[in-house]
Amino acid sequence: MTNEPTRTDSGPLLKVEGLVKHFPIKKGLLQRQVGAVKAVDGIDFEVNRGETLGVVGESGCGKSTMGRLITRLLEPSGGKVEFDGTDITHLSTGGMRPLRRDIQMIFQDPYGSLNPRHTIGSIVSAPFRLQGVEPEGGVKKEVQGLLERVGLSPEHYNRYPHEFSGGQRQRVGIARALALKPRLVVADEPVSALDVSIQAQVVNLLDDLQEELGLTYVIIAHDLSVIRHVSDRIAVMYLGKIVELADRTSLYEAPMHPYTKALMSAVPVPDPRRRGARSERILLKGDVPSPIAPPSGCRFHTRCWKATQVCTTQEPPLLELAPGRRVACHHPENAPDQVPGDTALASAGEAIEIVPAAKSPAAKSPAPEPAAPVAAASVEPAAPAAAPSAEDKGRAVAPSTGDDPAAGEDPEKL
């Protein structure tokens, strides 16, 4: 009799409570711990069956570390991870082995995630060998079918990774992740290393495979255009914390957290008919604080134009301020103020700069000079990006790589 976990059909597929990951900093001959990098510092969320949860945030916010924690590629420092009702937080390697069939990961780097010494057939067939699975018709036939499903040719079975482009290598990584028909797929920046024209193909492929195989996705990305196309709900992370969690439409049309509002203002509008629409950029001043010594209270208060005294002392809880919308902020946008009348910080008025849109989009004049720093009262909401024409997820068209303050690689990947 095996001890494989039983599957249930009710409740969320993935449930995370108070998840923490601190990387110790050691110095000296005796390697004593002198500090810790607080990559993930207490996050809570759920992922329902068949949905896609997008995770966005600036470089260094902990989103990639979070992806490795929920797939148990890293050992959590605290908190709890449940998969289909089973606590997998501290399962041993042997205990996790049966669950590897149901939890898979697509890695960010399509070059570094494939062994250059192995053929594509050997790479994609590795899950079958490791799990002792013998598919009907043989492993080779199954692998060739997987390659065809992700848009490659069955003849690529005997080729090596260096013979493929970046987009083709990413497709190989997707085929390997889908080999054992998993139920949860964590995709860590699946298109960030690809050309813009290839990004749309891979995004559409992920959409098609989800519909065909009934997959559940957690997609980590810094490109807000990509996240909008593929996600049902979106979690916004800042410095190891989730600051806002909402459905895609609500988040893009009316962000509640000031940090989310600043991110949304950077999304370029790809519709030529809206080039003349008013669209202001909110430029956050200063660098992201160090995760070794994060600010007290609200971690965003050092860059927030609405910060008050309470923000420096009390950490805002992640509360449901609207149906299906959870926000961690004392002074949210588009919602009642949680601490009305509190004393504003002197630095709040200098936390951002507002860059107005150019008056004539067709004119080839120099970019306007940044406006003088303004206080919170004069910040007007930026025009939201055009909403999809249908409620269901649309087809991706070459996502833009415009000026995104959250763009870049994640340095916390250890």
The single-letter code of the amino acid at 215 is L
pLDDT beneath 70: ranges in the chain: 1-10, 270-271, 274-279, 357-414
DSSP-H helix ranges across 89-236 = 93-96, 120-131, 139-149, 166-178, 196-213, 224-230
* Cα 102 to chain centroid, rounded: 20
Q: Is residue 53 part of a domain?
A: yes
Q: Residue 381 is part of which domain span?
A: 271-389
Amino acid identity at 307? A
Q: Which tens digit of pLDDT belongs to each residue from 243-280? A: 999 999 999 989 999 999 998 888 777 667 766 555 67
Taking a C-beta distance cutoff of 8 angstroms, is the pair 102, 179 a contact? no
Edge to edge, the sheet with strand 78-83 lists: 32-47, 14-27, 78-83, 86-87
Crossing angle for the helix pair 139-149 and 120-131, to the nearest 10 degrees: 120
Residues 292 and 356 in one domain: yes
Same domain, 196 and 280: no
d(CA 92, CA 210): 29
| Residue 180 to residue 135: CA distance in whole angstroms | 9
- Tell me which residue has tokens 């002392």: 313
Nearest Cα to 379, choosing from 349, 402, 342? 349
Classify burial at 118, counting beta carbons within 10 Å of its beta carbon; exposed 0-12, middle 13-18, buried 19 or more.
middle
| Same domain as 281, residue 175 | no
Which residue, chain included where needed, has tokens 């965003």?
Answer: 300
Instruction: Tell me how far apart the alpha carbons of residues 279 and 363 are, in angstroms, rounded to a whole number.
Output: 16
Are 64 and 192 in contact, with CB atoms under 8 Å apart?
A: no
Interatomic CA distance for residues 374 and 413, integer angstroms: 36
Residue 244 counted as domain residue: no
**One domain for residues 158 and 219:** yes
Counting the structural domains of the chain, the total is 2
Task: CATH number of the domain at 97, please.
Answer: 3.40.50.300
- For residue 17, what pLDDT is reported? 95
Provide the pLDDT for residue 110. 83
Pairing status of strand 103-106 against strand 184-188: parallel
Residue 237 lies in a domain: no
- Please check whether residue 145 lies inside any domain of the structure: yes
318 vs 46: CA distance, rounded Å: 13
Contact 305, 319 (CB under 8 A): no
Q: How high is the pLDDT of residue 297?
A: 94
Instruction: Identify the pLDDT of residue 276.
Output: 58
319-322 and 325-327 strand pairing: antiparallel
Closest listed residue to residue 269, CA positions, set 175, 376, 177, 358: 358
Q: SS3 for 267?
A: coil
Asked if 227 and 322 sit in the same domain, the reply is no
Q: Which of 207, 231, 255 marks a domain boundary? A: 231
Residue ending a domain, choose from 174, 200, 231? 231
Looking at the structure, do residues 214 and 318 belong to the same domain, yes or no? no
Instruction: HSE, CB side, 13 Å, CA atoms: give it for residue 346.
Output: 0
Is the distance from CB of 251 to CB of 221 less than 8 angstroms? no
Q: Same domain, yes or no, for 189 and 331? A: no
How many residues comprise the chain? 414
